[in-house]
Structure 1
């Protein structure tokens, strides 16, 4: 993943430079770039590669590294709502992946999720129920028709969801219609619905709502969210929890 780390700080990498840096032949370097491109982690251009900028929300591995410490802080705060034996839902977002890592310490959890990475993390410590559907590789999620697992038993206690954008008018939103449909079904099975997101999502464009504002129980975000946004959500009866940045991100 060193190539991806270079792309985090540089807009472009060159085959010649990578070959010198890693002591590999140009042929080997090109094969490495081809492999990363197939995983939609970068886009090859003449002589090298640039960061991937697809039409969807971006590859999971890239998003996992974006503001990782902020997402972990948000996940730690949200984890305080979950107790041993709870039945909850997690979506396929990277913040919920970090939440899953924390929840491995809980005992007797039942977790319904469409996120394969979260399911993998919790597989040895919780009862994990996958929603079913078709694999979407860019987000390692399952979309489409669910099995009847969500209709069995009582409602789930809490549902935790990442978002593409949030709006006190339209609710919680996603860019992909398929992702929104999958999250809509998960949210409908939950008593409480919580959004977990960093402040960059406040001004992000999105198309498809998966939970109306009146279905949202609370928001967990970072301290960079402004007072006006918090006041707008307060007006809908939704509490916003602003989490202070970790020491690593403080100026």
Structure 2
């Protein structure tokens, strides 16, 4: 539980920095009702990961953060990602065997699945595994740890191939293409997702609409193996026919803030 509390504090610190650009040890200590010593340790850990820069009495936002840092991506368009996750969760039933990748949208999907019974979840995402560890049977794929995304990557992520077919697979993307399918920017990330996707009977891409026009190099699921795209209302109308022609369903959801 202590590790979870620390992670939640870190997320809140990053959220405050995103809004205010600067945080103080005194204010954070009061907000979390913990000692300044503990707050300084939190800030030190975040600085080591280049997510902020410590200054006298607190910390400031850094413009040199790792673009792929999981914590920062988790904050980006969070309500949209949660809406996509809620839609994806409708597909999952008690007792299903599914795959989740290491994306932030799949992290939000894992949040939605904590009340499911009897799930088997194969994932290369350490944060999703942590969320589901007490409510599902969680299997990690293996591979090399990539700290910026808290993921296991590389060609040795082979458990799904040995373990038999999974029902549903859910994947975040760097980009999508009706010609090339689901794509990643990193070769090692793509390799991990390719092996995970190959073990799934149905594959769904979960992404916010800003990914539609982004550059990516490495396909990991071809178009003929994609069952559906779950995205937001910003997904362009003109892009839908090409996906429908490939027999891929496009689900567009509207983000509504949750109380």
Q: Structure 1 residues 213 and 61 mapped into 2: Cα distance closer, same or farther (>3 Å)?
A: same
Q: Which residue of 2 aligns with 1:230?
A: 240
Deviation at 1:70, TM superposition (A): 1.2
Q: Which residue of 1 aligns with 2:174?
A: 164
Q: Structure 1 residues 164 and 32 mapped into 2: Cα distance closer, same or farther (>3 Å)?
A: same
Bigger shift: residues 201-210 or 174-183: 201-210
Q: For structure 2, list consecutive stretches of 5 or more residues without a partner in the other structure.
A: 1-9, 30-37
Q: Which residue of 1 aligns with 2:91?
A: 81
Alignment check: 8 A CA contact 1:18 1:29 kept: no
Residue 199 of structure 1: which of 185, 193, 209 is its match? 209
d(CA) in 1 for partners of 2:26, 2:163: 59
Residue 114 of structure 2: which of 104, 125, 150 is its match? 104
Alignment check: 8 A CA contact 1:131 1:149 kept: yes
Alignment check: 8 A CA contact 1:100 1:122 kept: yes
Secondary structure of 1:150's counterpart equals helix
Secondary structure of 1:83's counterpart equals coil
Is 1:244–2:254 an aligned residue pair? yes
Q: How many residues of Structure 1 are paired with residues of Structure 2 in the alignment? A: 242
Secondary structure of 1:63's counterpart equals helix
Residue 102 of structure 2: which of 92, 102, 107 is its match? 92
Alignment check: 8 A CA contact 2:79 2:257 kept: no
Q: For structure 1, list consecutive stretches of 5 or more residues without a partner in the other structure.
A: none
Q: Which residue of 1 aligns with 2:5?
A: none
Alignment check: 8 A CA contact 1:33 1:49 kept: no
Alignment check: 8 A CA contact 2:155 2:191 kept: no
Q: Which residue of 1 aligns with 2:62?
A: 51
Q: Structure 1 residues 104 and 22 mapped into 2: Cα distance closer, same or farther (>3 Å)?
A: closer
Q: Which residue of 1 aligns with 2:123?
A: 113
Deviation at 1:102, TM superposition (A): 1.2
Deviation at 1:67, TM superposition (A): 1.4
Q: Which residue of 2 aligns with 1:179?
A: 189
Q: Which residue of 1 aligns with 2:164?
A: 154
Deviation at 1:98, TM superposition (A): 0.9
Q: Structure 1 residues 53 and 231 mapped into 2: Cα distance closer, same or farther (>3 Å)?
A: farther
Alignment check: 8 A CA contact 1:132 1:145 kept: no
Q: Which residue of 2 aligns with 1:218?
A: 228
Q: Which residue of 1 aligns with 2:4?
A: none
Q: Structure 1 residues 206 and 42 mapped into 2: Cα distance closer, same or farther (>3 Å)?
A: farther
Q: Structure 1 residues 147 and 74 mapped into 2: Cα distance closer, same or farther (>3 Å)?
A: closer
Deviation at 1:51, TM superposition (A): 3.5
Per-residue CA deviation, residues 157-201 of structure 1 (Å, 9 max, x unaligned), is 110000111111221111111111100110011111100011111
Aligned Cα root-mean-square deviation (Å) = 2.9
Alignment check: 8 A CA contact 2:18 2:61 kept: no
Secondary structure of 2:116's counterpart equals coil
